[in-house]
Structure 1
Amino acid sequence: MRLDEQTRRQLRDMGCTELLDAFVNQDEDACAALDAGQRIRLAVDEAHAAFTDKRIGGLARRARLRYPQADLRTLDMLDERGISRELVASLADCSWVERHRNIVAQGYCGSGKSWIICALARQACRNRYRARYIRIPDLEEEWRQAADKPQGRSRLLKRYSAYTVLALDEWLFDPPEERFRAFLFELMECRHDTGSTLFATQYPQKDRHQRLGGGTHADAIMDRSAQHHLAGNRRLQHEGTRTRPVAANQSRKQERHRQCPIPSTPVPSHNNPSAESE
């Protein structure tokens, strides 16, 4: 479509570069039989698609994925990783995000755990959810550095609590020390029923309580973390969570929305292994 220079400049001034490009790129011969309304509709559709792709690309870049090209639609790679195509395809609609469900990808080194959680986080970005990927060692380093800043750790907690989808890689690769374990508890508490968390770990569910120190923090973190377990056994295992009174849930949500403060002293630890899943 031929547009004069003033119209082009006005579209640029309004930030409508996608729409301008769509108009300019219309083929005159192919669109000759269309009326003005049809041509405008085609241009708007093309501009909207470009705008959406740009927005999704921005969300994916800000997610800082380890594998930015990981994609659930690349189903030919899943058989190599020992995971059912049908199972992963069922996660593509991101209903697990809407329900604030968490997922654990568990398997040996090199089995594709990190790829899977990156693909799930990228799929969340495609559905316009705000996501973030981080390795636990890097998160711990940020936590240590935050101690040198005024309210640094509280701000760090609020930032990672705010992501709709948080992908935590190398979960429990090293047992967290007591103070960082208290931070992880607060992070899980703040995200409970408000966001979805993805975990990639080598350790099966039965070993995680001990890796978390085996005390009350371990009980609480496992209780607030995963509902679904994605492993290389070609099925999605449901990991039940402890049933809590409704009033207790409401009070926790109200408290989380205030500030989610980090306790100044760690909660005392007791040897009370939990038979319940995360």
Structure 2
Amino acid sequence: MSVFLHFLFTHLIYYTLGVQACRQFYTVRYTRLPNLLEEFKIAKHQADGSYTKLMKKLIKVDLLILDEWLLYDLTDEEATLLLEIINARYEAQKSNIYCSQFDFKGWYEKLGDGVYGTLAEAILDRIIHQGSRNIIFEYFSNNENSQ
């Protein structure tokens, strides 16, 4: 049942909001957060400027839909990359949709702790202060990961 609900939820977000934005001539990109972070990790270690090109390409997108937002705890490298992505989009005044199975209150812990708690604070600060351009969708299933 929860797989069906996830499919239904993703369908609702992408096809309703994403397609509607496209119909109004906005550019939209839908991706899973783990895939986006992996794409940036690979690009960052290339010597051909792939990271900069990828960031510029992502900044041009009017609406970024991030599914499976914080499904897994982030590594230090991933939290740093996420801050760079969120900050670049924040400065470019672009819109984001965050689709998460977790309550917003639990995001801080998933973004990092210790010294990297400052990264969590910086990421959440940009999301909160860009509130008029961000949408946060939380959907909960009955599994133990939903808190």
1:185 CA drift (Å): 0.5
After superposition, residues 266-277 of structure 1 pair within 5 angstroms as none
Q: 1:144 aligns with which of 18, 41, 51?
A: 41
Cα-Cα RMSD = 2.1
Cα separation, 2, equivalents of 1:230 and 1:151: 34
After superposition, residues 239-254 of structure 1 pair within 5 angstroms as none
- Cα deviations by residue, 1:122-178 (Å, 9 ceiling, x for unpaired): 110011001111111211221232122422222222211221000111110111211
1:122 aligns with 2:19: yes
After superposition, residues 30-179 of structure 1 pair within 5 angstroms as 110-111=5-6, 112-118=8-14, 119-146=16-43, 147-179=45-77
* Structure holding more strand per residue: 2
Cα gap change, 1:154/1:203 in structure 2, threshold over 3 Å: closer, same or farther?
A: same
Confirm or deny: 8 A CA contact 1:175 1:213 kept in the other structure: yes
* Structure holding more helix per residue: 2
Q: 1:200 aligns with which of 95, 99, 118?
A: 99
Query: Which structure is richer in relative contact order (CA contacts within 8 A, separation 6 or more)?
Result: 2
Structure with max Cα Rg:
1
Instruction: Number of aligned residue pairs: give it.
Output: 126
Cα separation, 2, equivalents of 1:231 and 1:180: 21
Cα separation, 2, equivalents of 1:145 and 1:164: 24
1:232 CA drift (Å): 6.0
Q: For structure 1, list consecutive stretches of 5 or more residues without a partner in the other structure.
A: 1-107, 234-278
Give the equivalent residue in structure 1 for 2:127. 225
**Paired-residue identity, %:** 30
1:207 CA drift (Å): 0.3
Whichever residue aligns with residue 98 of structure 2, its letter is F
Confirm or deny: 8 A CA contact 2:37 2:82 kept in the other structure: no
Other structure's SS at 2:71 match: coil
Confirm or deny: 8 A CA contact 1:113 1:201 kept in the other structure: no
Cα separation, 1, equivalents of 2:82 and 2:137: 21
Cα gap change, 1:132/1:208 in structure 2, threshold over 3 Å: closer, same or farther?
A: same
With the length of structure 1 as denominator, give the TM-score of the two structures: 0.42
With the length of structure 2 as denominator, give the TM-score of the two structures: 0.75
Q: For structure 2, list consecutive stretches of 5 or more residues without a partner in the other structure.
A: 141-147
